[in-house]
């Protein structure tokens, strides 16, 4: 009797799974919905009567878990990379040229063409064919555990079907919300008086990040799978997708393999024409070299593959009205005109502001308050005014008055010689400049004062707790606790982070000072060339021009900055506050340095350092730290879950060292 019931349960599960495959994957159901519902109801009854036979991969077990308090983290077995973008036909043609040059072939390349969905990238992890976990892309290495929410999507199989399923399988997929479902959801939320989602992508992301899976289950989410998270057991990307489909995973029917770049452009035009008629949002086409062996040969650069590119559709445009034009003051005092618009839905988002960039652009467009303008989202991201519809200009339209005084502090505005920018002359007397300078100083790539966000800094400046970066190092917990919503633990964390930031590097300190034209790379080059802050401060323009990649404009800005009494005083106060860095003697970059002249690449997750900290310590030993592996690479430091860079290093015969071996190189600096 018992065995008969178990057989019935397993037979029902297999039958329901087969119908799910026909319905969701093949889009060709073979039974009516009512019959399907009866099968599920019968399975529910048997499992309820015999809970000892209940399994988590049963079709009945999609929803039922208790709400979470927060999401835990999952580290991807293989990192989820981003793609480089193309915006013109020529960009795509140049991509094809680079591919053929790197492969050293003249024949046409076969490409897998796939719609680029405007949704949320996720990773599905199966073990022995059963769904074990699901995670968001996150930062590419670590994402949020959304397993319980993904289980609520009927299109995601809890158990794979078919033969030859790997013991461990990771699948990359895109979760999205169809247009019809998005509008229906927003209508329901409006009726309940809740805040509406601005576009289907935000709706999909918000639905997947619900702490209660039952809430996610009510949202109309769908999914398409587009890649293996690893090496598929086939020869081409197109075959890989067919393999996923055979295992019960849903793939887009618009995927296609074509030969040659002309055929790619034709596919792009076809999909662009179909774009508005598709039931879901797409924002471009992804082209991948179809041959997987060629993909492996092409490899990766930075955080993107060389074998794939996303050709974005042109920005969508809409017309709206200019309500006002305001001038925002940035960190360096530059005034940027910003148009306040009648809110309009453009390219999947509601736009109410658009930058006019600078005074020359404002004059070129001849924007008036009250004008009707065309707005686009460049790359479907940045709101931009394309042109003014002069024929619709109303009689009451008002020309924009160029400010002669700063809108924030009232001081005179100056136009910088040979530049189009207008700049407030007040310097740190101007509140936005003061706030911007301190925000930049404490940012991650500068002094990295963790927990000290923009909102806290704005409060501190307005309360006159700080007026200069050096003031940060004299804050007390009692002062921090006077800020709105500041708790004891947060205050202590900020103080601890401020204390920790006192030990830094010369390159970080230079970048943190906010010198015009001096970014991270220039700051590092200055540090490595002069080996000391005083030498940089005293350097002439001629000496600065000896630094690689520093031209007359940058040299002038550096020289001008350090000639300023204000800058000299700021540096002096910061040094008195205790900010310091290891002084690197000139000999450290000589032939005697441990890694002098060596090129090192970091890959995988490091246990004892962030990637940035490890890079700085290696540079201190004379190394050049690169983001890609080539035949010129001397060492690859492989952390946990190292991926394509490790494989390429092994292929090229580059020496691979562990994090422990790297720490032996760094031991003297670690003991300081």
Which residues carry out catalysis? Answer: 116
Q: What is the rounded CA–CA span in Å between residue 243 and residue 539?
A: 63
Q: What is the rounded CA–CA span in Å between residue 566 and residue 426?
A: 12
φ, ψ of residue 338 in degrees (nearest 5): -125, 125
Two tokens, residue 570: 């700021």
Two tokens, residue 17: 């799974």
Q: Cα angle vertex 152, ends 147, 155, to 5°? A: 100
Whether the CB-CB separation of 644 and 592 falls below 8 Å is answered with no
Whether the CB-CB separation of 362 and 325 falls below 8 Å is answered with yes
Two tokens, residue 241: 């997708």
Q: Across 177-329, where does the E strand assignment appear?
A: 222-228, 256-259, 282-289, 300-301, 304-305, 308-312, 317-329
φ, ψ of residue 166 in degrees (nearest 5): -60, 155
Helix (H), strand (E) at residue 342: strand 334-346
Two tokens, residue 110: 């076969």
DSSP code of 226?
Answer: E
Whether the CB-CB separation of 643 and 78 falls below 8 Å is answered with yes
Half-sphere exposure of 291 (CA within 13 A, CB side): 11
Catalogue the long-range contacts made by 351-354 (C-beta closer than 8 Å, 24 or more residues apart).
351/318, 351/320, 351/375, 351/377, 351/383, 353/383, 354/383, 354/384, 354/385
Q: Across 69-119, where does the E strand assignment appear?
A: 73-75, 85-86, 110-117
Helix (H), strand (E) at residue 521: helix 520-530
- Integer Rg of the chain from CA: 29
Residues whose CB falls within 8 Å of the CB of residue 302, separated by 6 or more in sequence, listed in order: 627, 628
SS3 category, 657:
strand
Pairing outcome for strands 655-658 and 635-638: parallel
Q: How far is CA 585 from CA 325, 492, 622, in A?
A: 52, 36, 11
Q: Cα angle vertex 84, ends 200, 86, to 5°? A: 85
Q: What is the rounded CA–CA span in Å between residue 258 and residue 250?
A: 21
φ, ψ of residue 542 in degrees (nearest 5): -65, -40
DSSP per residue over 251-271, as a string? Answer: --TT-EEEESHHHHHHHHHHH
Q: What is the rounded CA–CA span in Å between residue 433 and residue 443?
A: 15
Q: What is the rounded CA–CA span in Å between residue 72 and residue 51?
A: 29
Two tokens, residue 131: 């769904």
SS3 category, 283:
strand
Task: Decide: residue 284, CB within 10 A, 0-12 exposed, 13-18 middle, 19+ buried.
Answer: buried
The residue with tokens 């509140």 is 431
Two tokens, residue 245: 């489909």
DSSP per residue over 310-321, as a string? Answer: EEEPPPPEEEEE
Q: What is the rounded CA–CA span in Å between residue 561 and residue 322?
A: 38
Please list the residues that pair with 143 across neighbouring strands: 74
Two tokens, residue 630: 């080539």
Helix (H), strand (E) at residue 637: strand 635-638
């Amino acid at each position: 009797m018992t065995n008969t019931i178990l057989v019935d349960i397993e037979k029902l599960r297999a039958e329901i799974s087969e119908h799910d495959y026909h319905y969701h994957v093949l889009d060709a159901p073979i039974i009516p919905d009512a019959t399907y519902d009866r099968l599920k109801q019968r399975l529910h009854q048997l499992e309820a009567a015999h809970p000892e036979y209940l399994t988590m991969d049963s079709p009945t077990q999609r929803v039922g878990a208790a709400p979470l308090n927060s999401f835990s983290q999952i580290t991807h077995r293989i990192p989820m990379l981003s793609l480089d973008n193309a915006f013109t036909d020529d960009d795509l043609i140049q991509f094809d040229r680079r591919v053929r040059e790197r492969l050293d072939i003249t024949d046409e390349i076969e490409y897998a063409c796939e719609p680029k969905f405007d949704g949320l990238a996720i990773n599905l992890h199966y073990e022995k064919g059963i769904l074990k976990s699901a995670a968001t892309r996150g930062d590419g290495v670590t994402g949020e555990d959304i397993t319980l929410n993904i289980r609520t999507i009927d299109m995601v199989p809890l158990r794979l079907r078919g033969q030859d399923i790997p013991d461990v399988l990771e699948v990359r997929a895109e979760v999205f919300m169809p247009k019809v479902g998005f509008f229906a959801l927003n209508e329901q939320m409006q009726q309940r008086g809740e805040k509406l989602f601005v576009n289907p992508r935000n709706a999909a992301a918000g639905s997947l990040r619900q702490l209660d899976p039952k809430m996610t289950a009510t949202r109309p989410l769908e999914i398409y799978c587009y890649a293996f998270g690893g090496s598929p057991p086939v020869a081409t990307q197109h075959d890989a997708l067919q393999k996923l489909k055979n295992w019960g995973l849903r793939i887009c029917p618009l995927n296609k393999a074509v030969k040659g770049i002309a055929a790619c452009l034709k596919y792009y035009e076809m999909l662009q024409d179909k774009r508005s008629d598709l039931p879901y949002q797409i924002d471009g086409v992804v082209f991948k070299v179809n041959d997987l062996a060629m993909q492996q040969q092409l490899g990766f650069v930075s955080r993107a593959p060389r074998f794939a590119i996303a050709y974005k559709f042109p920005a969508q445009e809409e017309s709206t009205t200019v309500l006002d034009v305001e001038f925002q003051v940035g960190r360096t005092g530059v005034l940027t005109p910003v148009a306040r618009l009648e809110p309009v839905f453009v390219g999947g988002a509601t736009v109410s502001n658009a930058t006019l960039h600078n005074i020359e652009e404002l004059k070129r467009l001849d924007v008036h308050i009250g004008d009707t303008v065309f707005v686009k989202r460049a790359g479907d991201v940045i709101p931009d005014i394309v042109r003014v519809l002069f024929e619709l200009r109303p009689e009451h339209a008002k020309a924009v008055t160029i400010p002669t005084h700063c809108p924030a502090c009232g001081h005179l505005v100056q136009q910088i010689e040979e530049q189009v920018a207008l700049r407030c002359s007040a310097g740190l007397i101007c509140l936005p400049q003061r706030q911007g300078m301190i925000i930049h100083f404490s940012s991650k790539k500068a002094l990295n004062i963790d927990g000290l966000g923009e909102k806290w800094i704005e409060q501190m400046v307005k309360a006159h707790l700080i007026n200069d970066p050096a003031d940060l190092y004299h804050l007390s917990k009692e002062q921090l606790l006077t800020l709105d919503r500041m708790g004891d633990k947060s205050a202590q964390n900020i103080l601890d982070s401020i204390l920790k930031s006192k030990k830094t590097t010369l390159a970080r300190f230079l970048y943190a000072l906010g010198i015009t034209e001096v970014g991270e790379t220039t700051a590092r080059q200055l540090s490595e060339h002069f080996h000391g802050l005083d030498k940089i401060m005293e350097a002439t323009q001629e000496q600065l021009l000896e630094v690689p990649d520093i031209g007359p404009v940058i040299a002038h800005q550096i020289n001008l900055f350090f000639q300023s009494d204000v800058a000299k005083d700021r540096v002096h106060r910061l040094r008195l506050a205790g900010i310091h860095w290891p002084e690197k003697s000139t000999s450290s970059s000589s032939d005697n340095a441990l890694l002098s002249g060596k090129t090192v690449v970091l890959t995988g997750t490091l246990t004892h350092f962030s990637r940035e900290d490890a890079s700085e310590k290696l540079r201190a030993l004379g190394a050049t730290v690169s983001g890609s592996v080539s035949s010129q690479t001397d060492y690859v430091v492989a952390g946990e879950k190292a991926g394509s860079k490790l494989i390429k290093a092994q292929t090229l015969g580059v020496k691979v060292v562990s994090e422990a071996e790297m720490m032996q190189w760094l031991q003297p600096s670690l003991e300081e």
